[in-house]
Amino acid sequence: MNQPKIRLDEHVRSASEAFQFLKSTTVKERAKFMHAVAHKIESLSPFLLETAHAETALPLARLTGEKARTVGQWRSYANAVEQGIYTEARIDLADAEKGKNDIRKYSIGLGPVVVFGASNFPFAFSTAGGDTASAIGAGCPVLVKGHPAHPQTSQIMADAITDLVQEFGWPKGAFGHILGDHVEGTDTLIGAYLTAHPDVKAVGFTGSYRGGKALFDIANQREEPIPVFAEMGSVNPVFAFSNVLDQRATDLAKEYLASLVMGVGQFCTNPGLFIAVKGAGFERFKGALATAISVVPPARMLNQGIYENFERNRNTLNQQEDVHILSEVLSEQIDGQGCAQVAITTGKSFLKNRLLSEEVFGPFGLLVEAESYEEVFEIAKQLKGQLTATVAGTIDDLQAHRDIIDTIQDKVGRLLFNGMPTGVEVAFAMQHGGPYPSSTDSRFTSVGPDAVKRFVRPIAFQNWPNEFLPEELKNANSLEIMRIVDGVSTAASLKVDID
Amino acid sequence: MNQPKIRLDEHVRSASEAFQFLKSTTVKERAKFMHAVAHKIESLSPFLLETAHAETALPLARLTGEKARTVGQWRSYANAVEQGIYTEARIDLADAEKGKNDIRKYSIGLGPVVVFGASNFPFAFSTAGGDTASAIGAGCPVLVKGHPAHPQTSQIMADAITDLVQEFGWPKGAFGHILGDHVEGTDTLIGAYLTAHPDVKAVGFTGSYRGGKALFDIANQREEPIPVFAEMGSVNPVFAFSNVLDQRATDLAKEYLASLVMGVGQFCTNPGLFIAVKGAGFERFKGALATAISVVPPARMLNQGIYENFERNRNTLNQQEDVHILSEVLSEQIDGQGCAQVAITTGKSFLKNRLLSEEVFGPFGLLVEAESYEEVFEIAKQLKGQLTATVAGTIDDLQAHRDIIDTIQDKVGRLLFNGMPTGVEVAFAMQHGGPYPSSTDSRFTSVGPDAVKRFVRPIAFQNWPNEFLPEELKNANSLEIMRIVDGVSTAASLKVDID
């Protein structure tokens, strides 16, 4: 399906118009809308789940959980927005004696944001997902490019938000939804066209490195470059240290496998890499893993394209020098179904061949058997940016390998101790993002209320008349948000002489 | 002067090593260092001022003020860092019943930052300027590329910081200073080489659009793109509305001129553009401006290159169709000295010719005489991103022209009411930056403590043992910083069962 250029332009124009309204809404008004979206999604009929199940092959139980998570996202982001956390109001009062002006700063939306949903999370990272919630929370109109893998699910979600835009009396451009591939009559992808559009001011993306990088490049080459936050996945290495391998290799193998095959391995936080020093502990780990993996049933992947990529990518890895299949599912391969597989290589080969550190989206893990901790240190140094890394170890291991762990820290957004990375909690303290190439900007997150920060910018008002200031900065703090006034945090209203 | 590649690499390697130390310093330790820098600069001998005066032609009084401002910057940033404002500590405690992990997030430095100083602020925006202070505050080692226009001033400042690095026992790579143009034996500029270096993790720049854009492009085309915050100046339009022109055209002309010629117009916030609707008020404004400007004495500009650019750029503008010189200094032109000049054009011509909205660095202003407020609205819409804009008007004007002012707001980092933009206060509420091309990322500022934010990224720790957490996230809040714990702001220590 293609879209005429004129229609895309109309969507953007409509979003720009809506921005003039949205940017002047208060945090309370936006929070109210966001709570309404949460409620609306919560009350959507089972048809939503059935549609998503048909389009993505994700089990109904998983989709039910994801729906609840999505509702929770809207609510928690709304609460944070309402508290004014992202308003970052700062007021420096005038001081005539010191010749100081009255300066007041707060955060305002960047303008229309284009959101690209993900194939693997039809609710939480798609049309009504975290990017949309955080952009709305920031006061930005959203234009969603619906994911082609679940267009009907996307439409149901879009309709729900559109209904609320109307109900709230917001301008219709506050939320737009576009399905399709190309700009009609051209080779230009709709996503590329929108990202290049002068009236689009930011992009949120979850997906592949190739897709994210393409949008990032387009955005930076515009006459006016714009921020793109692309979360592009990673291999999420697990570094297992000697004590834990000595003490609980079998349990660790089970935990690792459970994380690896969860959701047929289709999570950006899938632990695709496992690194440890050779020895008896690692041998036990391998043995337990091989036994456990052989009975994992194959399962349908999200779509044929993802399945084919999985097959191709793991075959490419398995054909590399010094890579051997350790164990795989002992069942007949069925088209479209992902069979879990674990391969193994040496630390030396891993360091030589950069292809081995590429993500294989699906239930594939690569074990790296290092000769020594010196080699593990080299591996940590060579590691690209990751969403997460796990340190499987004991307190003694943490103490003994500070250098390695310090280096791992530089490469990740989230560092886990004895836990597997799948399962990204929606929480204030969550960081979902990380050094490039796991995301395009390590300073931001796409999960947790802090995701709002991606889409706001500060604006300062100097000697601006009180009645024309945004509500967030007026003397009377009617929104009861925390503000830094002359260097001190306070929710108090200001007593300023009216002249 | 050129530098051998091996020496530049050694500087970066040294900075990377220092990062492993700096990233683990607490906010208190960094604040202590920053206060020491402030004290050290404060106590530098008059030789500093004399050197800067000789190198930049800036008057001693101005340099004395800029030195005090620089000291104040280090102090105010130190205080904000110490309070933990940029630590953004968030703690979500474990909840076994809900299956929730213990997740704790804080902000950590990005890594080595390369800082490019500005020609027009040898102290406040150079070697020991705001970028260096904010990067150190963030926990990042700094590598300054000293500005070639004031190398000795830069060296004095660098020596002061280097002494303190030694005194504090910090690794020497915590601060580095490089003078020179090219990488020895190549055409590569040192700045370009450093920005492309894989171990450099961010860039701070103040200067020209051409320079900032070149670094931005290099940074985005790296294998691992890195953030560049470049503040690239702007024309800082003044929009004057009818009531204010009717009531105080003469005073406004004096205020505008004073701002235009301050520091020989060599400020990024120089008001290079003045826009109003034609009429009796504008005529009086022009008359008063012409009288006042004719007696402004010429003054030496920062250096010959800047003087020549000024001459060339204003001549280019004056040669454009429908641009006329309104008034200029009636004194003989002396090589190296900038003579104030104001030209005038029509709204129609301004809208047609985009060259007319380009910054002329120096004491040059362009008046735009619009036919109507509809035309002013069009001008506001066409405006590129600006550091500042001024609305000169009354409350009635604000009321009557909301559409225009809403549009201006979208284009600026700071919006002034009846004030001139020169004079950027170092304050929490300051925003110095703005939509592209005034800066490369409108979400950040380079003045005020919030400048620290450019150089930090969040990292989350999941189930990490308390004793190995950074001090900022431990149960005992020994640094007494504000933290968001389970959604609530608190400075309290946590009572968590030790297992």
ipTM for the whole complex: 0.97
Check CB contact under 8 Å for B227 and A441: yes
B412, B454, B462, B480: which to substitute to probe chain A, counting the most A Cβ within 10 Å?
B462
pLDDT tens across the length of chain B (499 residues): 899 999 999 999 999 999 999 999 999 999 999 999 999 999 999 999 999 999 999 999 999 999 999 999 999 999 999 999 999 999 999 998 988 999 999 999 999 999 998 999 999 999 999 999 999 999 999 999 999 999 999 999 999 999 999 999 999 999 999 999 999 999 999 999 999 999 999 999 999 999 999 999 999 999 999 999 999 999 999 999 999 999 999 999 999 999 999 999 999 999 999 999 999 999 999 999 999 998 898 999 999 999 999 999 999 999 999 999 988 766 677 889 999 999 999 999 999 999 999 999 999 999 999 999 999 999 999 999 999 999 999 999 999 999 999 999 999 999 999 999 998 999 999 999 999 999 999 999 999 999 999 999 999 999 999 999 999 999 999 999 999 999 999 999 998 765 4
User: Which of A55, A66, A231, A311 is the catalytic position?
Assistant: A231
Residue ranges of chain A that CATH labels 3.40.309.10: 238-417
pLDDT tens across the length of chain A (499 residues): 899 999 999 999 999 999 999 999 999 999 999 999 999 999 999 999 999 999 999 999 999 999 999 999 999 999 999 999 999 999 999 998 988 999 999 999 999 999 998 999 999 999 999 999 999 999 999 999 999 999 999 999 999 999 999 999 999 999 999 999 999 999 999 999 999 999 999 999 999 999 999 999 999 999 999 999 999 999 999 999 999 999 999 999 999 999 999 999 999 999 999 999 999 999 999 999 999 998 898 899 999 999 999 999 999 999 999 999 988 766 677 889 999 999 999 999 999 999 999 999 999 999 999 999 999 999 999 999 999 999 999 999 999 999 999 999 999 999 999 999 998 999 999 999 999 999 999 999 999 999 999 999 999 999 999 999 999 999 999 999 999 999 999 999 998 765 4
Give yes or no for A480 touching B (CB within 8 A). Answer: no
Check CB contact under 8 Å for B462 and A92: no
Check CB contact under 8 Å for B482 and A489: yes
Give the one of B431, B436, B489 whose C-beta lies nearest to A105's C-beta: B431
Looking at the domain covering A238-417, what would its CATH class be? Answer: alpha beta
Give yes or no for A109 touching B (CB within 8 A). Answer: no
Give yes or no for A460 touching B (CB within 8 A). Answer: yes
Measure A472 CA to nearest chain B CA, in Å.
Answer: 13
Give yes or no for A496 touching B (CB within 8 A). Answer: no
Give yes or no for B43 touching A (CB within 8 A). Answer: no
Q: In chain B, what residues touch A418 (CB-CB under 8 Å)?
A: 463
Q: In chain A, what residues touch B398 (CB-CB under 8 Å)?
A: 465, 468
- A107-129 residues labelled b (16+ CB within 10 A) or e (exposed): bbbbbbbbbbbbbbbbbbbbbbb
Question: For B416, which residue in chain A has the nearest alpha carbon?
Answer: A462
Measure B97 CA to nearest chain A CA, in Å.
Answer: 15
Give the one of B19, B92, B462 whose C-beta lies nearest to A415's C-beta: B462
Question: For B399, which residue in chain A has the nearest alpha carbon?
Answer: A468
Check CB contact under 8 Å for A101 and B418: no
Question: For A79, which residue in chain B has the nearest alpha carbon?
Answer: B487
Residue ranges of chain A that CATH labels 3.40.605.10: 5-232+442-456
As its CATH architecture, domain A5-232+442-456 has 3-Layer(aba) Sandwich (3.40)
Tens digits of per-residue pLDDT, B52-62?
999 999 999 99
Measure A14 CA to nearest chain B CA, in Å.
Answer: 16
